[in-house]
Amino acid sequence: MVLDLAPYHGTRAACLAAVGRRAEAARIADSLAGAFKAHTLDPAYGEALAAQELAIYAAWIRRPDEARRWLRTAYSLSPIGLDPRILRSGLFDEVLRDPEFAKDVATLPGEAWARVDHDSREAQ
């Protein structure tokens, strides 16, 4: 059975890494990161979702600094940043042990919503 996980390429890469297909997983993640940086993502696939997916992959392969970078990017693009259900799913368990990552998880959502509140007040 093959699951179509588009546009969830980071999740797909994490799944492939979990079953030992690490080179294929890395190619998918690298391709997604390249498309993000080149601003060539599929228009239906927003940058915030791409950043979230790259955070998922980095977390799964236990790269807390990289996961943190993508998490910060996701929150800079959207106040949603990272769906809390994903955070509680187990995908982030290893990197949540990293104090800096855990600190960002605790503070970034509030900072993002404060930014939205500030921007909406400025617009009035």
pLDDT for position 5: 65
2 found inside a domain:
no
The domain in which residue 95 lies consists of: 9-123
Q: Please, which residues have CB within 8 angstroms of residue 112's CB and are 6 or more apart in sequence?
A: 75, 76, 78, 79, 81
- Quickly tell me which residue has 């990289």 as its tokens: 66
Which of 73, 66, 67 lies closest to 47, judged by CA?
Answer: 73
Residues of the chain scoring pLDDT < 70:
1-5
pLDDT of residue 71: 96
Q: Are 49 and 20 in contact (CB under 8 A)?
A: no
- Model confidence pLDDT, tens digit, residues 29-60: 999 999 999 999 988 788 999 999 999 999 99
The SS3 call for residue 51 is helix
CB atoms near residue 45 (< 10 Å): 17
| 108: number of Cβ within 10 Å | 19
In a domain, 61, yes or no: yes
Number of structural domains in the chain: 1
Q: What are the angstrom distances between the C-alpha of 42 and each of 3, 9, 17, 30, 88?
A: 20, 12, 24, 15, 28
CA distances from 40 to 24, 43, 53, 78 (A): 21, 8, 16, 19
- Is residue 15 assigned to a domain? yes
* 1 domain residue, yes or no: no
Q: Within a domain: residue 3?
A: no
